Amino acid sequence: MTLSRSETVAMVKRGARGAGYSWGMAEEIAAACATLCANGINAQPALSQYLSVIDGQSHRLAIQSWPLTQDHVCPFHLGCFIAESAQDGDVLTFNGVQSAVFLLPYVQRLAAIKGRNLHLRVGDMTVDVGADYIAGDIILDAHGTVVISTRKREFEPLCASPSYPVQYCEVMDRLGQKTMVPESDESRAKGAGA
Partner 1 sequence: MKSRDEIPLRDADQVMRLSRMGSFHQSRLSFMRILLRRMRNENWRFDAPDWHVGADGVGHAVYTVHGPNRAYSLVAFAHDLPDEMRSDRVIATAWDTTFTLFDGIPTDDDIARLAQNVPLQEAGRISSRELTLSRANRSARLWDFVVANLAAGRQPDPESLKTVGYVMRTTAVYGSGKFGAADHDTIQDRPEFAAPFQAEMLTVYLIRCFVMDLLDHSAKCAGGARAVALSPKLRRAMGIGNSTGLGMAPFLVNHPTLLHQWIAARETALARVRQIKSASAAIRGVMLNHAQSAHINAMNWHSQHPIQIAKVTELQSDMVMLCKAIERIGDAPYPWDRLYQWGERDLTSEGLEQLVSILMEPYGDIVDDLADVMSIDESAHFYIDGTQDMRRIKSLIVAHFEWALKTDFSNAQDQARFWYVSAAKLEPRLGERATEQGHELEQPLAIGRDVAALYRAINQDETVAHFLRKHPEHRHILRRVQMVEKFPYAEIRDNLLHADMLPIDMLRCKLSFFGATHFDPRSDRWLRICMFQNAPFPEDIHKPGNWVYPEPKGAP
**Which residues are at the interface with partner 1 (CB under 8 A)?**
1-7, 21-25, 27-28, 31, 62-63, 66, 77, 80-81, 83-86, 109, 177-184, 186-188, 190-194
- Positive or negative, the CA dihedral 162, 39, 135, 146 is negative
Smallest gap from residue 80 Cβ to partner 1 (A): 7
Smallest gap from residue 14 Cβ to partner 1 (A): 8
Nearer to partner 1 (CB atom), residue 14 or residue 119: 14
Q: Could you tell me if 150 and 118 are in contact, meaning their C-beta atoms sit under 8 angstroms apart? A: yes
> In which order are the strands placed within the sheet that holds 144-150?
91-97, 144-150, 118-122, 125-130, 133-137
Q: Could you tell me if 144 and 98 are in contact, meaning their C-beta atoms sit under 8 angstroms apart? A: no
Distance CA 126, CA 154 (A): 11
Smallest gap from residue 57 Cβ to partner 1 (A): 14
Smallest gap from residue 5 Cβ to partner 1 (A): 4
Nearer to partner 1 (CB atom), residue 105 or residue 136: 105
Nearer to partner 1 (CB atom), residue 152 or residue 177: 177
Smallest gap from residue 192 Cβ to partner 1 (A): 3
Nearer to partner 1 (CB atom), residue 21 or residue 102: 21
130-136, long-range: CB < 8 A, 24+ apart = 133/39, 133/157, 134/36, 134/39, 134/41, 134/104, 134/108, 134/158
Nearer to partner 1 (CB atom), residue 81 or residue 155: 81
